[in-house]
Amino acid sequence: MAEVDVRLERVTKDFGETIAVDDLSLDIAVGEFFSMLGPSGCGKTTTLRIIGGFEEPTRGTIYLRGRDVTDQPPHRRDVNTVFQSYALFPHLNVFENVAFGLRRRKVPHDEIDARVRNALKLVDLEGFDKRKPGQMSGGQQQRVALARALVNEPQVLLLDEPLGALDLKLRKQMQLELKRIQQEVGITFIYVTHDQEEAMTMSDRLAVMRNGRIEQIGPPEEVYENPQTQFVAAFLGASNLIEGELKEQRNGTSSVRLQGGDVVQMPSDRAPFQTGVDVLVGVRPEKITIAPENGPEPAAGSNSVTGLLRMSTYIGVSHQYKVEGPGGHEMTVWVQNLGTDPAPTPGERVRLSWQREHTFAVLPQEGLSLEEEEE
Ligand SMILES: Nc1ncnc2c1ncn2[C@@H]1O[C@H](COP(=O)(O)OP(=O)(O)O)[C@@H](O)[C@H]1O
Ligand SMILES: [Mg+2]
CA-nearest of 346, 56, 8 to 156 is 8
d(CA 12, CA 234) in angstroms, rounded, equals 26
Report which bound ligand comes closest to the CA of 159.
Answer: 2
- Those residues with Cβ within 8 angstroms of residue 133's Cβ, 6 or more apart along the chain or in another chain: 86, 88, 89, 90, 94, 97, 141, 144
- Among 8, 11, 18, the mutation site with the greatest number of ligand 1 atoms within 8 A of its Cβ is 18
- CA 1–ligand 2 middle distance (angstroms): 28
Please give the DSSP secondary-structure letter assigned to residue 134.
Answer: G
CA-nearest of 213, 234, 212 to 223 is 234
Atom of ligand 1 nearest to the CA of 209: 22
257: amino acid identity, one letter: R
SS3 state at 30:
coil
d(CA 238, CA 240) in angstroms, rounded, equals 6
- The residue whose C-alpha atom lies closest to atom 17 belonging to ligand 1 is 43
Measured CA distances, 203 to 35, 78, 178, 218, 265 (Å): 6, 21, 10, 10, 32
Atom of ligand 1 nearest to the CA of 21: 14
The pLDDT value given to residue 375: 41
Q: What sign does the CA torsion over 367, 368, 370, 375 have?
A: positive
Report DSSP letters for 76-103, one per residue.
Answer: GSSEEEE-SS----TTS-HHHHHHHHHH
Strands 79-82 and 302-314: unpaired
Report which bound ligand comes closest to the CA of 43.
Answer: 1
35 Cβ closer than 6 Å to some ligand 1 atom: no
Atom of ligand 1 nearest to the CA of 192: 21
56 Cβ closer than 6 Å to some ligand 1 atom: no
- CA 78–ligand 1 middle distance (angstroms): 24
193 Cβ closer than 6 Å to some ligand 1 atom: no
Measured CA distances, 91 to 132, 133, 136 (Å): 7, 8, 13
43 Cβ closer than 6 Å to some ligand 1 atom: yes
Atom of ligand 1 nearest to the CA of 47: 17
d(CA 81, CA 189) in angstroms, rounded, equals 10
Which residues partner with 214 through β-bridges?
209
d(CA 331, CA 306) in angstroms, rounded, equals 11
Q: What is the pLDDT along the chain (375 residues), one digit of tens a residue?
A: 689 999 999 999 999 999 999 999 999 999 999 999 999 999 999 999 999 999 999 999 999 999 999 999 999 999 999 987 778 999 999 999 999 999 999 999 999 999 999 999 999 999 999 999 999 988 899 899 999 999 999 999 999 999 988 888 889 999 999 999 999 999 999 999 999 999 999 999 999 999 999 999 999 999 999 999 999 999 987 779 999 999 999 999 999 999 989 999 999 999 999 999 999 999 999 999 999 998 888 888 899 999 999 999 998 889 999 999 988 889 999 999 887 777 789 999 999 999 999 999 999 998 888 765 444
Task: Supply the CATH classification number for the domain 4-228.
Answer: 3.40.50.300
- CA 43–ligand 1 middle distance (angstroms): 6
The pLDDT value given to residue 111: 96
The pLDDT value given to residue 374: 46
48 Cβ closer than 6 Å to some ligand 1 atom: no
Which residues partner with 27 through β-bridges?
7
- Among 12, 13, 14, 15, the mutation site with the greatest number of ligand 1 atoms within 8 A of its Cβ is 15
- The residue whose C-alpha atom lies closest to atom 26 belonging to ligand 1 is 41
**What is the domain partition of the chain in residue ranges?**
4-228, 238-362
- Those residues with Cβ within 8 angstroms of residue 311's Cβ, 6 or more apart along the chain or in another chain: 321, 322, 346
**Alpha helices, DSSP H only, in the chain?**
44-52, 94-104, 109-122, 138-150, 168-185, 196-202, 220-225, 230-235
- Please say whether the beta carbons of 43 and 101 come within 8 A: no
46 Cβ closer than 6 Å to some ligand 1 atom: yes
The pLDDT value given to residue 1: 65
- The residue whose C-alpha atom lies closest to atom 24 belonging to ligand 1 is 41
Task: Supply the CATH classification number for the domain 238-362.
Answer: 2.40.50.100
44 Cβ closer than 6 Å to some ligand 1 atom: yes
Angle between helices 94-104 and 138-150 (to 10 degrees): 20
- The residue whose C-alpha atom lies closest to atom 16 belonging to ligand 1 is 43
239 Cβ closer than 6 Å to some ligand 1 atom: no
